[in-house]
Amino acid sequence: MNEKLYIIFGTGRDSVGLVQKITTPISAIRGNIIDLRQDVLHGLFTVFMVVDLAEASVSVEEVQSLVSDISEETGLDLTMDRYQPVARSAEKRNMLMILLGRDKAGIIAAVADILQTYNINIEFSDMVAREDIFLMELMVDIRHCAIPLENLQEVLRERMGALGINTLFQSEDVFNKKKRILLFDIRSSFIDGQTMAEVLQLTGISLEEFKEAFGQEELPALQSAARCLEDLPVEVAANIARAVVVTPETMELIQTLKIMGYKIALVTRSFTCLSEILQEKLALDHCFGVPLVENDDAMTLTGELEQGALRAVNTQAITEHLADREGVSREDITIIADQAGDGTTQGLHIHLDMKILLDYYNQHILSREALIGLLGSFGIPVSIAAETSE
């Protein structure tokens, strides 16, 4: 085959139509694009193309001039170089690695150091680090690995485990990724401490009064929050929940995880009036919250939890349910728990709409007690329970 291969690569600010603006002029001069990689990272457009100019209708110098024109038109910094392909080996032994845990500096450097030490080549990697979550997939060639595969996996688990990172491996049929589920297990409140303190200050509710509304244990605390909502119109609770805004970082995280092929599930100790809204806004595959009893005739909340409410959000039971429903093994479900110890949620963050909450309160649609209950409906803050038990 008579090929004349060149690479065209570059970066720049993302905008609609960049791929078209690059590829159309190349096609017009009969350049054949035989490989293309394109991505957008934090608004930065990146592109890498291999182009065969064997049948091009213009000279290489004119193609280089064309690439310069495209750069000027699009604002991209594009470069063109001659490419000498390297023959692919038929003896490769590929393994898919998945690293998942709390984000921190040094994770990528640590895994790269291990792989280099044992003569393993990284052929492809994809990662996301958003909202305190780190997830990285690496396709590696282990045919020249200096130690047995089992030993390598043990080293990786140990070194990554020291950084708080779980390591998963797939060495069979690596180009067909197994179905995997990420289960976010949120035990604390979706309302951050600063926002909570601000609401209490603006409504004149003391921290002591707020603490006294909830017990030290999970079920009594949720029951107390539910009782505060007795006779509250369902529509009011739904309107406040619908008004929450998911942070852009959380949206980007969930969208990236779904693009990478993961099923996303959420279990939360917030009431279903919020969890169902979050499922809709984030397009979650599965969502489990604490169910409340409604008075269908009066369209109000009864102040009671549904029977077995805590069983509905039992992480172990939900894991078994997901494994059965999705047809995966328990090992294919990774639980991401908010165990920071500071009461903050890991991976999923929202903004409470203060205006609608305060408007309802100032118009006396929300009583003092109902407001406390609504704050509890977003999940009982870990810090409250911890301070109450001291």
Q: Are residues 170 and 188 in the same domain?
A: no
Q: Is residue 87 part of a domain?
A: no
Q: Are residues 224 and 325 in the same domain?
A: yes
- The parent domain of residue 58 ranges over 5-82
Q: Which pair of structure tokens corresponds to residue 204?
A: 């004149």
List b or e across 223-245, with b for residues whose CB sees 16 or more CB atoms inside 10 angstroms: bbbbbbbeebebebbebbbeebe
Q: Is residue 88 part of a domain?
A: no
Dist CA 320 CA 330 (whole Å): 7
How confident is the model at residue 41, as a pLDDT? 78
Q: Is 43 helix (H, G, I), strand (E, B) or coil?
A: coil
Q: Is residue 89 part of a domain?
A: no
Q: Is residue 200 part of a domain?
A: yes
Q: Are residues 322 and 230 in the same domain?
A: yes
Query: Of 82, 103, 125, at which residue does a domain stop?
Result: 82
Q: Are residues 120 and 55 in the same domain?
A: no
Q: Is residue 321 part of a domain?
A: yes
Q: Are residues 157 and 256 in the same domain?
A: no
Query: Of 82, 103, 134, at which residue does a domain stop?
Result: 82
Query: Of 125, 145, 177, at which residue does a domain stop?
Result: 177
How confident is the model at residue 296, as a pLDDT? 92
How confident is the model at residue 236, as a pLDDT? 94
256: domain CATH number is 3.40.50.1000
Q: Domain total for the chain?
A: 3
Other Cβ atoms less than 10 A from the Cβ of 1: the count is: 4
Q: Are residues 172 and 219 in the same domain?
A: no
150: domain CATH number is 3.30.70.260
Per-residue pLDDT of the chain (390 residues; tens, 9 = 90+): 567 999 999 999 999 999 999 999 999 999 999 999 898 877 899 999 999 999 999 999 999 999 999 999 999 999 999 988 776 666 778 999 999 998 989 999 999 999 999 999 998 898 888 888 999 999 999 999 999 999 999 999 999 999 999 999 998 877 778 899 999 998 888 888 888 889 999 999 888 888 888 766 777 888 899 999 999 999 999 999 999 999 998 998 999 899 889 999 999 989 999 999 999 999 999 999 999 999 999 999 999 998 888 888 899 999 999 999 999 999 899 998 875 444 455 678 899 999 999 999 999 999 999 999 999 889 876 555 444 333
Task: Read off the pTM.
Answer: 0.79
Q: Are 379 and 190 in contact (CB under 8 A)?
A: yes
Dist CA 109 CA 243 (whole Å): 41
Q: Is residue 302 part of a domain?
A: yes
In sequence order, which residues have a C-beta less than 8 Å from that of residue 30 and are 6 or more positions away? 55, 56, 57
Q: Are residues 250 and 341 in the same domain?
A: yes
Q: Are residues 61 and 156 in the same domain?
A: no
Q: pLDDT for 308-319, tens place per residue?
A: 888 888 999 999
Q: Is residue 137 part of a domain?
A: yes
Q: Are residues 269 and 374 in the same domain?
A: yes
Q: Are residues 200 and 275 in the same domain?
A: yes
Q: Is residue 131 part of a domain?
A: yes
Q: Are residues 234 and 337 in the same domain?
A: yes
Q: Are residues 268 and 332 in the same domain?
A: yes
